[in-house]
Structure 1
Amino acid sequence: MLLDDGQLRVTRSAGGTLTLHGEVDARNSAVLAGVLIAARTPPGTPLVVDLQGLTFIDMSGLRVLRPGPGRPGLAPVRLVNVPRLMRRLLDMLPCETAS
């Protein structure tokens, strides 16, 4: 277990995928960002994050998962099992593009 703050739990599978369970909001999004940075895979290899167990996320959490222009960070992150409504929100955010 990489994180369990009573609101959000982050686990890592044997294959390296991180799975989020619970809620991400302004109270724990900075901690989540730190967990994702610490869990980085070799450069250029996407960090796979499974959102199937996520029940709530606010804009601060969305920005951690999809850094925008001018906000360096966690890219490349590959999100899997993204709930449909969350996908719509993520698609509306500008994202960092590889140069």
Structure 2
Amino acid sequence: NFKDTSLDLKILSSLEYLDLQHCKKVKFDSDAFNAFLSLQILLLDSCLHLEEVSKGYGNLTSLQQLSFANCKNLKTIHARFKGMTNLKKLWLDGCENLKTCLWI
């Protein structure tokens, strides 16, 4: 039932693994993950309110694995993944409404 991402997330700047899979009610601000400078794995599978991935995700330079699998309402990815020099795995399977990917 996690809904609020407006918490002061700067206190979590050393977090390396974040699993928010199946958070059906959560809505993410465009800069929700900017505080996670050490984040290596981010799992957002089946987050039904996720419609857009903002450019802010491109600031996650430590990220190695990123999953948006089964985000049925995801339509647009604006993130520039070329800044994610450590990214090794990206999952987009099941994102049946994904229309725009501006990630190069």
Fold conserved between structures, TM > 0.5? no
Scaled by the length of structure 2, the TM-score of the pair is 0.42
The structure richer in helix per residue is 1
Scaled by the length of structure 1, the TM-score of the pair is 0.44
